C-alpha cells in the first residue's frame, strides 16, 4: 500500500482491534456466508494485510527507531518475538515491546485528522503556506491540531500528552501485552506472513545481505534509514 495515495486514512479501530492484537477473525469465511460476503471478506483481509505491512514497515519503526528495528530485522524476524541481547548483561530484550506498538498506534490516532487536513490543504492550495494551530487563537485551524499532544512544543507532564492520551496509551499497552501472552502463536503466525510479504517486496535490498545472526552480542553498524512510506509522520 502506497501511503501517499491514501486520501482518507484508515480508522484507528483497525489497528487497535485487528492489527495490534493480530486478530483477523472478522475476515474468516463461514459456511453460511453468501458469495458476496465471501468476496467482501477476501477484499477486507487483503486490505488488512496491506495495513499490517504499513504498520510493520513504517509506523512501528518510527517509534522503535530505525537502528533497533531496521530492515535487516523487520524483513527477517517476527516483530512480536524479535530480541536483541544487551552487550552489558547478555540478557535478551524485545526489540518491539508492547509499549512500542502502543505508542505507534497512539501517535497515529493523535495525528490522523491533522495528516488528513494537511493532505487536503496541499491538494487544494498547492504551493501555499500551510496553516498552523496556535493556543493564541485556539478557535482557528483546529483541524491542524493533534488530538492528545501539544503541537507547539510546550511540555506538560508526560512530555506534553494529555490525560486522555496517557490513558489511551496505558489501555493499548495492556491490551497488546495481554494479547501477546494469550495468543502468542497467533501473533507469530501473522508476523511471519508479514515478514514474508515485506521480504518479497524489498528482496532486491537483501540480495547481498545475510539474515541477522541469532547470537549477535552487539548491534551492527547500520545506516540510519529514511522511511518515505509515511512522510507525514512528523512529531511524536
Q: Could you read off the pLDDT of 195-211 as tens digits, one per residue?
A: 999 999 999 888 766 55
Range scoring the smallest mean pLDDT among 22-31, 101-110, 134-143? 134-143
Instruction: Provide the percentage of residues in the chain whose pLDDT is more than 70.
Output: 80
Give pLDDT, residue 158: 52
Chain mean pLDDT for the chain: 83
Separation between Cα atoms, residue 120 and residue 114, nearest integer Å: 10
pTM: 0.81
pLDDT band at 228 (very low <50, low <70, confident <90, very high): very low
* Cα distance between residue 92 and residue 217, in whole Å: 10
Q: Which residues contact 119 (CB under 8 A, 6 or more apart)?
A: 7, 232
Per-residue confidence (pLDDT) for residue 90, from 0 to 100: 74
How far is it between the farthest Cα atoms of the chain?
A: 59
**pLDDT of residue 232 exceeding 50:** no
Q: What is the pLDDT of residue 6?
A: 56
CA 121 to chain CA centroid, nearest Å: 24
Judged against a pLDDT cut of 60, whether residue 51 lies above it is answered with yes
pLDDT score for 79: 97
| Residues 192-197, mean pLDDT to the nearest whole number | 98
The pLDDT of residue 216: 46
Long-range CB contacts (< 8 A, 24+ apart) of 213-222? 215/85, 216/84, 216/85, 217/85, 217/87, 217/90, 218/87, 219/67, 219/68, 219/84, 220/72, 222/66, 222/67, 222/70, 222/72
User: pLDDT class for 229, splitting at 50, 70, 90?
Assistant: very low
Q: What is the mean pLDDT of residues 91-110?
A: 94
Amino acid at each position: 500500500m502506497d501511503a501517499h495515495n491514501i486520501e482518507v486514512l484508515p480508522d484507528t479501530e483497525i489497528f487497535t482491534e485487528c492489527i495490534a492484537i493480530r486478530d483477523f477473525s472478522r475476515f474468516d469465511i463461514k459456511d453460511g456466508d453468501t458469495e458476496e460476503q465471501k468476496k467482501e471478506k477476501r477484499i477486507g483481509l487483503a486490505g488488512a494485510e496491506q495495513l499490517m505491512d504499513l504498520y510493520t514497515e513504517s509506523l512501528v519503526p518510527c517509534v522503535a527507531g530505525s537502528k533497533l528495528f531496521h530492515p535487516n530485522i523487520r524483513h527477517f524476524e517476527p516483530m512480536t518475538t524479535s530480541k536483541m541481547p544487551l552487550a552489558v548483561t547478555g540478557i535478551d530484550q524485545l526489540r518491539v515491546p508492547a509499549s512500542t506498538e502502543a505508542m505507534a498506534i497512539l501517535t497515529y490516532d493523535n495525528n490522523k485528522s491533522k495528516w488528513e487536513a494537511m493532505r487536503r490543504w496541499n491538494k487544494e492550495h498547492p504551493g501555499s503556506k500551510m496553516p498552523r494551530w496556535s493556543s493564541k487563537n485556539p478557535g482557528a485551524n483546529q483541524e491542524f491540531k493533534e488530538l492528545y499532544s501539544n503541537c507547539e512544543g510546550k511540555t506538560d507532564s508526560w512530555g506534553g500528552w494529555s490525560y486522555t492520551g496517557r490513558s489511551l496509551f496505558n489501555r493499548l499497552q495492556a491490551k497488546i501485552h495481554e494479547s501477546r501472552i494469550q495468543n502468542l502463536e497467533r501473533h507469530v503466525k501473522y508476523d511471519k506472513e508479514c515478514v514474508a510479504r515485506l521480504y518479497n517486496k524489498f528482496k532486491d535490498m537483501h540480495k547481498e545481505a545475510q539474515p541477522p545472526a541469532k547470537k549477535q552480542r552487539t548491534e551492527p553498524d547500520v545506516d540510519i534509514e529514511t522511511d518515505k512510506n509515511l512522510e507525514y509522520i512528523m512529531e511524536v
